[in-house]
Amino acid sequence: MHPVRKQRLILVCFIVVFSTLAVGLVAYGLRGNINLFYPPAEIAAGKAPVGQQIRLGGMVVEGSVRRDPQSLRVEFDVTDYQATVTAVYTGILPDLFAEGEGVVASGMLDDKGVLQATEVLAKHDENYMPPEVAEALANAHEEATGS
């Protein structure tokens, strides 16, 4: 075979093998590893899947943080001022987690509609609000005022 043609053949083989591999890996990686955001109103309406990784975002309800005296288990309510969903988390909460502030919790819904959170994220600084939360709140506000 002509050396240049042979070189092209090598190149094409590499590309075919790798693009197949890459597509396979990406498909495998995406399966169950991406999670969708739901505001409390949609979860309360039963739109969120049970037993699948999701993210919940909204404001932590004032006075709703309840700690277990024996362990690091903590329960709190998340609201978008339309509906409220309870989240349970065991572990250390981020520094900026506070009542009346924005929060995003990811985990799975159990059959009682409680989010069993595996990760809790709070905003990065004073002025910052997670954009999903800001939007969910704005939507809820619009619906509530009918505008």
Chain residues that interact with other proteins, rule: CB under 8 A: 2-4, 6-7, 10-11, 14-15, 18-19, 21-22, 25-26, 28-30, 32-37, 55, 67, 69-72, 90-93, 95-96, 106, 124-126, 128, 130-132
Looking at the Cβ atoms of 112 and 127, the one nearer to other proteins is: 127
For residues 33 and 147, which CB has a smaller minimum distance to other proteins in the complex? 33
For the chain, state the CA radius of gyration.
22
Taking the least distance from each CB to other proteins, the nearer of 75 and 132 is: 132
CA 115 to chain centre: 11
Please tell me whether residue 70 adopts helix, strand or coil conformation.
Answer: coil
- Judge whether 52 and 116 are in contact, CB under 8 Å: no
CB of 44 to other proteins, least distance (A): 18
At closest approach, how far in Å is the CB of 37 from other proteins?
A: 4
Find the shortest distance in angstroms from Cβ 9 to other proteins.
9
Contact between residue 74 and residue 87 where contact means Cβ atoms under 8 Å apart? no
The CA distance from 6 to 1, in Å, is: 6
Handedness of CA 55, 142, 100, 98 (dihedral sign): positive
Q: How far is the CB of 68 from other proteins (least distance, A)?
A: 9
